[in-house]
């Protein structure tokens, strides 16, 4: 079989691109530990509202100064509607939905995930800047989608509350 020189060239170029793409996925996954934002943790959507954790959404400050924020995303709001977290500390968001797919995006940060019924979405982020951030739903979820938002307030840690350390 005779394959033209230019045809050979483009065949190898196309194959090379595929190899580069697969290698870059492998490198970011194993070399830089960049993975999809969530682990696999399931929850029955029907029980979200009575769940021990998600039935009482809110912010918990952990003994090490980090914070855990439990969020319920539903048609058409987030609970809590106002979230207060400390600046410069790891803040872990744990979210789920009792109804349809929502999004949880902290505007102007890398904090962004889908919230899928049946699963717990989780990510950890820390905020360098104190102030108010807007949290929006970025997955179209129905007629009230545009009204689905929350306020995130990042506060400087009061020395006393943090055990005397700043």
CA-CA distance, 98 to 73, in Å (whole number)? Answer: 7
Q: Residue 19 or 107: which CB sits closer to ligand CUA?
A: 107
* Under rule CB under 6 A, residue 102 binds ligand CUA: yes
Q: Residue 123 or 149: which CB sits closer to ligand CUA?
A: 149
* Under rule CB under 6 A, residue 81 binds ligand CUA: no
User: Which span sits near ligand CUA by CB under 6 A: 15-23, 63-71, 126-134, 138-146?
Assistant: 138-146
The contact mask relative to ligand CUA for 21-60 (x = CB under 6 A, - = no) is ----------------------------------------
Q: Nearest to residue 123, comparing CAs of 44, 79, 69, 52?
A: 69
Q: Are residues 138 and 106 in contact, defined by beta-carbon separation less than 8 angstroms?
A: no
Q: How far is the CB of 137 from ligand CUA (least distance, A)?
A: 3
Q: Which one of 54, 74, 78, 127 is the catalytic residue?
A: 74
Q: Pull the structure tokens for residue 33.
A: 């530990």
* Under rule CB under 6 A, residue 96 binds ligand CUA: no
| Residue 54 designated active-site | no
CA-CA distance, 43 to 118, in Å (whole number)? Answer: 5
For 17, half-sphere exposure in the C-beta direction (CA atoms, 13 angstrom radius) is 5
Q: Pull the structure tokens for residue 32.
A: 């830089």
* Under rule CB under 6 A, residue 145 binds ligand CUA: yes
Q: Are residues 104 and 134 in contact, defined by beta-carbon separation less than 8 angstroms?
A: no
What Rg, from alpha-carbon coordinates, does the chain have?
Answer: 21
**Residues belonging to the active site:** 74, 76
Q: Which residues in this chain contact ligand CUA in the complex, by CB under 6 A? A: 102, 137, 139-141, 145, 148
């Amino acid at each position: 079989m005779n394959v033209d020189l230019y045809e050979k060239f483009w065949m190898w170029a196309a194959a090379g691109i595929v190899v580069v793409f697969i290698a870059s996925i492998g490198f970011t996954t194993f070399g830089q530990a960049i993975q999809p934002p969530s682990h696999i943790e399931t929850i029955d959507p029907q029980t979200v509202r009575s769940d021990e954790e998600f039935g009482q959404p809110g912010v918990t400050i952990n003994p090490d100064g980090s914070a855990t924020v439990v969020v319920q995303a539903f048609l058409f709001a987030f609970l809590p509607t106002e979230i207060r977290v400390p600046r410069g500390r790891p803040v872990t968001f744990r979210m789920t939905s009792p109804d349809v797919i929502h999004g949880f995006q902290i505007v102007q940060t890398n904090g962004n995930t889908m919230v899928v019924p049946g699963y717990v979405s989780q990510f950890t982020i820390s905020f360098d800047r104190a102030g108010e951030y807007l949290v929006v739903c970025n997955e179209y979820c129905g007629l009230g989608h545009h009204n689905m938002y929350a306020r995130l307030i990042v506060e400087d840690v009061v020395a006393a509350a943090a055990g005397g350390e700043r």
